Structure 1
Amino acid sequence: MKTLVLLALCSLTVICVTSGAATGPQPAGDNPPQEGLFVEREQASTVVRQKRAAGELSLTQLESLREVCEANMACEDMMDTSGIIAAYTAYYGPIPF
């Protein structure tokens, strides 16, 4: 039991030393202050994942939409006439992926 406690304390010490937590707070000049939560539109568009167009769905994704739509008889009928994407969107809303 003593060995386990000693091993845990040694592990905690190593983690603190390697992460820099044991050195204390960093001077304010090293890290510029955060300006806020708002970013420019161009920068945000590179970070946020863009929605995929309906034609770019994989076969697996189309099959999962088809399975959901087959559970509803009206959706299944519309799927046969208008297509899976139109039927799913009409009955279940926007495509989740």
Structure 2
Amino acid sequence: MRTLAILVLCSLAAICLTSDASTGSQPASDNPADEGMFVERDQASAVVRQKRAAGQLSLTQLESLREVCELNLACEHMMDTEGIIAAYTAYYGPIPY
């Protein structure tokens, strides 16, 4: 039992020493932008899509639109005949996501 306790303590000490060595070697004055965490606005807008097309909605998003549209009888009828996206945009405006 004593051997097991010593083995556990030694392994914890080794883990603490290796984790301190990897984080303690960096100076505190490093700028995070130098490490590539941030990008320019032009590059970010090229990578990130601004708005999804109507055909790319997930099933969960379509279900939430359907639940909103079911509260209005006219919207619900249009949903049955024209589709959920056409009905939602006709009665509630553009899709929020």
Q: Distance in 1 between matches of 2:48 and 2:61?
A: 21
Q: Deviations over 1:31-89 (max 9, x none)?
A: xxxxxxxx65xx36326542111111011000000000000000001000000000000
Q: Distance in 2 between matches of 1:70 and 1:86?
A: 14
Q: Distance in 2 between matches of 1:77 and 1:50?
A: 31
1:36 is aligned to none
Question: Which one has the bigger helix percentage?
Answer: 2
**2:54 is matched by which residue type in structure 1?**
A
Number of matched residues?
65
Q: Deviations over 1:1-49 (max 9, x none)?
A: xxxxxxxxxxxxxxxxxxx6xx8xxxxxxxxxxxxxxx65xx3632654
TM-score normalised by L of structure 2: 0.54
TM-score normalised by L of structure 1: 0.54
Q: Distance in 1 between matches of 2:91 and 2:69?
A: 8
1:61 is aligned to 61
5+ long unaligned stretches in structure 1? 1-19, 24-38
1:71 is aligned to 71
- What is the percentage of aligned positions where both structures have the same residue? 81
**2:88 is matched by which residue type in structure 1?**
Y
